Amino acid sequence: MSRIGKKPVAVPAGVEVTQKLNVIHVKGPKGELSFEHRREVKVSVEGSEIQVSKVGSTKLAQALWGTTAKSIENMFVGVTEGFTKQLELNGVGYRMSLSGSKVTFALGFSHPVEMVVPAGLEAKVEGNVLTISGIDKQSVGQFAAVVRKLKPVEPYKGKGFRYVGEIVRRKEGKKASA
């Protein structure tokens, strides 16, 4: 049994929920999101809470039950508060700048790397910290992962992108023998 799926999802104040077939639309003060759930789960809107139940007893239905409930809960958090991810860039000569909806990185390659911020997301550069914010948790995390993959932090000198607060285990370099 899914402990997350069994619990009803409470609809926060100021959020409007509508359901058409297997698509749930959530509208709040920060924006509007929609989620199409699979046939293996049943979602019912009852007043100020949403109940998610599985259809049948397949392995897939069991797996999607809690995931669907958590995705709906994340939509509520997104339209009321929003999500943010912060990436820190360390390294001599590594820079980033924002111009419009384009982020330009100087990461030690022979060319600058340019990335367009996806629609629905907002990016801010403050020193060596890139802040990505938006209402959709999945798209915020995906864009942060794509940026981090450009230059992942390396364990010897600690150069590259890391999430703010992430601890990277450092390795000892080669020792000179006498």
Q: What is the pLDDT of residues 42-71, one digit of tens each?
A: 999 988 899 999 998 889 988 899 899 999
> Is 41 in contact with 53 (CB distance < 8 Å)?
yes
CATH code reported for the domain at 83-163:
3.90.930.12
pLDDT at 36: 93
Residues of the chain with pLDDT under 50: none
pLDDT at 46: 87
Alpha-carbon 175 to chain mean position: 41
The two structure tokens encoding residue 125: 């550069």
DSSP tag of 152: B
Total-model pTM = 0.88
pLDDT at 1: 62
| Residues contacting 35, CB < 8 A, separation 6+ | 23, 24, 26, 71, 72, 75
pLDDT at 178: 64
The answer to whether domain 3-80 and domain 83-163 are alike in fold is yes
Q: For the chain, which residues make up each domain, given as ranges? A: 3-80, 83-163
Q: Name the class of domain 3-80.
A: alpha beta
